Amino acid sequence: EAEVILRRQALRESAARTYARSLPIVPVRARGLTIEGADGRRYLDCLSGAGTLALGHNHPVVLEAIRGVLDSGAPLHVLDLATPVKDAFTTELFANLPPALASDARIQFCGPAGTDAVEAALKLVRTATGRSGLLAFTGAYHGMTAGALEASGGAEAVRVTRLPFPQDHRPPFGVPGAEGEQLAARWTENLLDDPKGGVPAPAGMIVEPVQGEGGVHPAPDGWLRRMREITAERGIPLIADEVQTGVGRTGAFWGVDHAGVVPDVMVLSKAIGGSLPLAVIVYRSELDVWAPGAHAGTFRGNQLAMAAGTATLAYVRQNRLAERAAVLGERMLTGLRGFAADQPCVGDVRGRGLMIGLEVVDPDTGAAAPELAAAVRRECLERGLIVELGGRHSSVVRLLPPLTLTDEQAGAVLDRLTDAVPAARR
């Protein structure tokens, strides 16, 4: 059955299909970290819907919340009308926002995807400032629609698109170490202050607290604080894209919390919908400049996603899963670094919380090794472990396990990965 389904989909689906190509499995059941295929094989899923499943697959509190809405007779679609479900979601979300933002925040339901919320954020700061330029960073990923692509740098889809994306809007992302932080910050300042070649007055700056698709690069705290200063001094709204880093993933509730930075706009999706599509932007009330109807969309009121999201946010908060992610992430990073010490094909191990990357390199030259990385992913799958690749050369093996990962499961993930790496070289 699985073979037939895979063959049929391969014929019918666009050649652009991505995960379906690299992960030839047919999931039929899932719970927590585990996916079961139609062939009965079980896999540890460290892709988690590209970082969406904070509580893993089909967590009981999420299922209960969804069933609660279904059984209550509440409408499933009422555009963006106020409902008790929406009220509960907004209340829970606001309770978890950085306090300095929550005290004066507005929310705009966008959706359904992360890229929709990115578009909304870019449009909002352009409306608010009356300017159009944009500062985004090398290696950034913000989504696949035109504006989000324009702000991204380095993803394959950006290279193949014919959209204009001016390089002068893309200074380097923060580099770890005092010198790296300073150099990267100065580059951005120079861009802003150069009256000729630069971007003297952009409408906004958009930044990921940890670049995910770009290959797991945590923003150094000092650099991110400097970006906040640079933008505040010049009246440039700072947009934090927390689509992937939000809801405990990096070991703090929000990625910006590590640096104590309060952005003007936060872009949220993935985990906030508890595995269903939901995307919002939250911003300082001063930026609430849109007239009624200036931003619309039919699917901004997904009641099931809001209920699943409320349950997820509350569970992460009540069970301190961000702290858990910090402890477990540190332990996994330490384990992987120990392993990498005598693996010449592992160039670097990076991460924050449960957002972990292992850079695969050519043992002789140290250059990025995409083919070897793909082989590592295949060997992982052979061993029942699902991982993702990222980075500018698709040479970074990425782990995004659920925050509910147990110590035992973390051990199993590391065992399989550290087994797969040497096997990929044979």
Rounded to the nearest whole angstrom, what is the least distance from the CB of residue 211 to ligand PMP in the complex? 8
Handedness of CA 244, 246, 251, 257 (dihedral sign): positive
Q: Output 35 or 113, the one with its CB closest to ligand PMP.
A: 113
Q: Output 141 or 254, the one with its CB closest to ligand PMP.
A: 141
Backbone angles phi, psi at 11, to 5 degrees: -80, -35
Rounded to the nearest whole angstrom, what is the least distance from the CB of residue 141 to ligand PMP in the complex? 5
Binding to ligand PMP in span 213-242, by CB under 6 A: 213, 241
Q: Output 212 or 220, the one with its CB closest to ligand PMP.
A: 212
Rounded to the nearest whole angstrom, what is the least distance from the CB of residue 210 to ligand PMP in the complex? 9
Q: Output 239 or 369, the one with its CB closest to ligand PMP.
A: 239
Q: How many residues of this chain bind ligand PMP (CB under 6 A)?
A: 15
Q: Output 142 or 170, the one with its CB closest to ligand PMP.
A: 142
Q: Report the C-alpha gap between 413 and 353 in whole angstroms.
A: 15
Rounded to the nearest whole angstrom, what is the least distance from the CB of residue 422 to ligand PMP in the complex? 30
Tokens of 286: 């001063």
- Does residue 143 bind ligand PMP (CB under 6 A)? yes
Binding to ligand PMP in span 74-133, by CB under 6 A: 113-115, 118
- Does residue 269 bind ligand PMP (CB under 6 A)? yes
Q: How many CB atoms lie within 10 A of CB 71?
A: 8
Rounded to the nearest whole angstrom, what is the least distance from the CB of residue 326 to ligand PMP in the complex? 20
Q: Report the C-alpha gap between 134 and 151 in whole angstroms.
A: 7
Closest by CA position to 354, among listed 256, 216, 225: 216
Rounded to the nearest whole angstrom, what is the least distance from the CB of residue 116 to ligand PMP in the complex? 7
- 27-31 and 34-37 as β-strands: parallel, antiparallel, unpaired? antiparallel
Within 206-319, residue ranges assigned H as helices are 221-234, 303-318
- Does residue 306 bind ligand PMP (CB under 6 A)? no
Rounded to the nearest whole angstrom, what is the least distance from the CB of residue 242 to ligand PMP in the complex? 8
Q: Output 147 or 335, the one with its CB closest to ligand PMP.
A: 147
Q: Output 59 or 249, the one with its CB closest to ligand PMP.
A: 249
Residue from 90, 244, 275, 395 that binds ligand PMP (CB under 6 A)?
A: 244
- 355-360 and 204-207 as β-strands: parallel, antiparallel, unpaired? unpaired
Q: Please write down the HEC assignment for all residues of 346-405.
A: EEEEEEECCEEEEEEECCCCCCECHHHHHHHHHHHHHCCEECEEECCCCCEEEECCCCCC
- List of residues 6+ apart from 277 with CB closer than 8 A: 111, 112, 113, 269, 299, 302, 305
Residue 259 CA neighbour count, 13 Å, CB half? 23
Closest by CA position to 333, among listed 347, 320, 346, 352: 352
Closest by CA position to 410, among listed 352, 333, 332: 332
Binding to ligand PMP in span 307-366, by CB under 6 A: none
Exposure string of 304-331, with b = 16+ CB inside 10 Å and e = fewer, is bbbbbbbbbbbbbbeeebbebbbebbee
- Site map (CB under 6 A) of ligand PMP, residues 21-50, x = contact: -----------------------------x
Rounded to the nearest whole angstrom, what is the least distance from the CB of residue 4 to ligand PMP in the complex? 29
Q: Output 83 or 145, the one with its CB closest to ligand PMP.
A: 145
* Contact region with ligand PMP (CB under 6 A), list: 39-47, 95-103, 138-146, 254-262: 138-146
Q: Report the C-alpha gap between 417 and 226 in whole angstroms.
A: 36
- Closest-by-Cβ residue to ligand PMP is 114
Binding footprint of ligand PMP on the chain (CB under 6 A)? 50, 113-115, 118, 141-143, 208, 212-213, 241, 243-244, 269
